[in-house]
Amino acid sequence: MSSRRKFIGTVATGIAGTLAVPQGVLGANDRIRLGIIGPGDRGMQLVREALACPNTEFVAFADIYTRRLEAAKKLVPEAKTYFDYRYLLDDQSIDAVIIATPQHLHCEHFVASLDAGKHVYQEKTMAFTVEHAKKMREAYRRASGRTVQIGHQSCSSGLMTDALEMVRSGGLGKVTAIHCHMYRNTPHGKPQWSRPVYPDMTPENILWKSFLGEAPDVPFDANRYINWRFFWDYSGGNVYENMCHQLAFWYRSLSLEIPKAVTMVGGIYLWKDGREVPDTMNVSLEQPEEMLISWDSGFGNNHLGSTEDVLGTDGTISKGQQIRYTPQKVNRPDGTEMPGRTPTPPHAHMQNFLDCIRSGKEPNCPFELGYRVSIACRMAVQSYRENRTVRWDATKEEIV
């Protein structure tokens, strides 16, 4: 692979403006040609998932860091590599794009990919801000016939199949609360999310301006680049990393809307390593369905793990690694427990995305679900940063 300097020297004439011509729905056995914007750690996991699905081919990688393009080449030697993602989008032979960039860049890459006629697998959290969410919605509406899958993988799990059946059974009654926990721990001296700064993380090997996008213009900082999850300019913290997944699961299975009000409290109680996002937090979401969702999370003890309990007048659904319905005997004296039994196929969420490209059906985590979850997550972050309860004005579509 050419060095960044040589690469820039050979393409200094600018970016072609040709948009891909939208194609029809692929046949059931048609090979899908894929590219990815952002083949970092998570991105490469998604590449491997896609390659494990039948009739797929990775043909292009775009990233702003030379090391990541070199690693991608080792996995798929015949693929093309680009420092500028717009060259990838100019390739009309590419059917679909995976976007796995930092959260503040999702909107830019999502809109450009749809406008270029690509199907899109967008990693979570879908949108960084309300403004971004609206721009992404406009692009989605323009992109008639394009498949968009948001990367909340549990929406394609066997747990989701079981949850939908439990909800349809009518055994919950009136749900008034959902309690969610998400806790982790790491060895002393190894902070959650912390990544090492390598000697080759220099302005020569990283397109810093491309990383910043619309974020405030600051001098090159390798730590801000590799540990972007620590900083509000690029990250929504653990709300955007994990609360989003737990919300997406129940927003889908219970058909929930954007919260009426959200309050978030917490702080940096454990890892004094320069991060701006909290390591311990509690979020309360008041839903328009007359339901309260609570989510608490921390990085200093993993005893509570990652679990959710849906509390209804007639029954409870408890979800962790497995899922189970338990009746409330006070209202369902003859009710019986219902354990989940549906396995999750390998690479289920990615396979669902590819299947929907071929069939034209709606994917398991469609745009609208990603949109609602994004707004809920932004409300939580804004509440924390402004030290107040925030509310959603559904008429103006604004946080107030």
For residue range 37-61, list pLDDT tens digits in order: 999 999 999 999 999 999 999 999 9
What's the confidence (pLDDT) of residue 29?
A: 63
Q: Give the pLDDT confidence score for residue 275 in this predicted structure.
A: 98
pLDDT of residue 143: 96
Q: What is the pLDDT of residues 98-120, one digit of tens each?
A: 999 999 999 999 999 999 999 99
Question: Distance (Å, rounded) from C-alpha 215 to C-alpha 125?
Answer: 17
Strands 32-37 and 96-99: parallel
* Rg for the chain, CA atoms, rounded: 22
For the residues 230-242, what does the mean pLDDT come to?
Answer: 98
Same domain, 76 and 215: no
Backbone angles phi, psi at 364, to 5 degrees: -70, -25
Q: Are 161 and 143 part of one and the same domain? A: no
- For tokens 């909290």, the residue is 278
Checking if the pLDDT of 385 tops 70, the result is: yes
Q: Is 243 helix (H, G, I), strand (E, B) or coil?
A: helix
Residue 355 lies in a domain: no
Task: Verify that 142 and 178 share a domain, yes or no.
Answer: no
Same-domain status, 138 and 161: no
**Confidence class for position 268, pLDDT limits 50, 70, 90:** very high
Q: Determine contact, residues 188/271, Cβ cutoff 8 Å.
A: no
Number of folded domains in the chain?
Answer: 2
**Beta pairing partners, 97:** 35, 120
Express as a percent the part of the chain with pLDDT over 90. Answer: 92
Residue 134 lies in a domain: yes
Pick the last residue of a domain from 155, 190, 215.
Answer: 155
In a domain, 257, yes or no: yes
In a domain, 358, yes or no: no
pLDDT over 80 (residue 24) = no
211 and 331 co-located in one domain: yes
**220 & 277 share domain:** yes
| The predicted structure's pLDDT at residue 17 | 38
Please tell me whether residues 29 and 107 are part of one structural domain.
yes
Domain extent, residue 319, equals 156-346+367-399
Considering the domain architecture, whether residues 160 and 257 belong to the same structural domain is answered as yes
Residues 168 and 304 in one domain: yes
Supply 11's token pair.
């393409």
**What global pTM score does this model have?**
0.93
Do 181 and 273 share a domain, yes or no? Answer: yes
* Residues 344, 349, 355, 360, Cα dihedral to 10°: 130
| 172 shares its domain with 308 | yes
Which residues have CB under 8 Å from 23's CB, separation 6+?
Answer: 95, 117
At residue 211, what is the residue type? F
* Last residue within a domain, chosen from 155, 174, 195: 155
* Same domain, yes or no: 124 and 163: no
What separation in angstroms does the CA of 64 have from each of 48, 110, 207? 20, 17, 5
- Indicate the residue among 138, 155, 172 that finishes a domain: 155
- The CATH number for 82's domain is 3.40.50.720
